[in-house]
Amino acid sequence: MTQVVAEGAGVLQGMMSQEGKYLTFTLAGEEYGIGILKVKEIIGMMGITRVPQTPEYVKGVINLRGKVIPVVDLRLKFGMEAGEYTERTCIVVVEVSRDGGYVFIGIVVDSVSEVLNIRGGDIEATPDFGASLDTAYILGMAKTGAGVKILLDIDRVLGSVEMVRDSQMLN
């Protein structure tokens, strides 16, 4: 009993530490959030230069004020169907931790919604979907009004072997 209470307190403390401001955006009709401190810039869609022999979700690179930034289509990274780019589609430039430093990576999202201040009490742990499904990239589920926003750990989302290799090649 004491162990269960201690584990529950640890989960609660973990959710409280996730409290803060999140940039929310949509992908395929679902709402997601990224910690605002990870977001460096939001830009409209622009010309993306394709890089050969990269995974399908790596759209290529952009030149952002003289800096070459890799761009990932988050729909494709998550295994969703590709969406048509509209006037609301944009690139969110995020800072991703890498080997004690950081790199900038652009993520293509359907649209940016708003910046929300989410209280720790409104964040629940990621549900257990079974052993075969890795959800380590999800920080938690934020309850907002009648809906739920999926809070992402962008370092883990973009931390795959392919992205590490690609971003190192480009920088």
Query: Among residues 1, 82, 92, 114, which one has the least CA distance to residue 39?
Result: 92
DSSP per residue, 101-170: EEEEEEEEESEEEEEEEE-GGGEEPPP---TT---TTEEEEEEETTEEEEEE-HHHHT-SHHHHHHHHHH
CATH of residue 102: 2.40.50.180
First to last CA, the chain: 52
* pLDDT tens digits, 115-150: 999 998 888 887 766 665 666 788 999 998 878 999
Count of structural domains within the chain:
1
pLDDT category at 159 given cuts 50, 70, 90 is: confident
Two structure tokens written together for 22: 């999140």
**What is the mean pLDDT of the segment spanning 66-78?**
95
Over residues 91-100, the pLDDT tens digits come to 999 999 888 8
pTM: 0.81
On average, the pLDDT of the chain sits at 83
> Which residues span the domain enclosing 81?
2-170
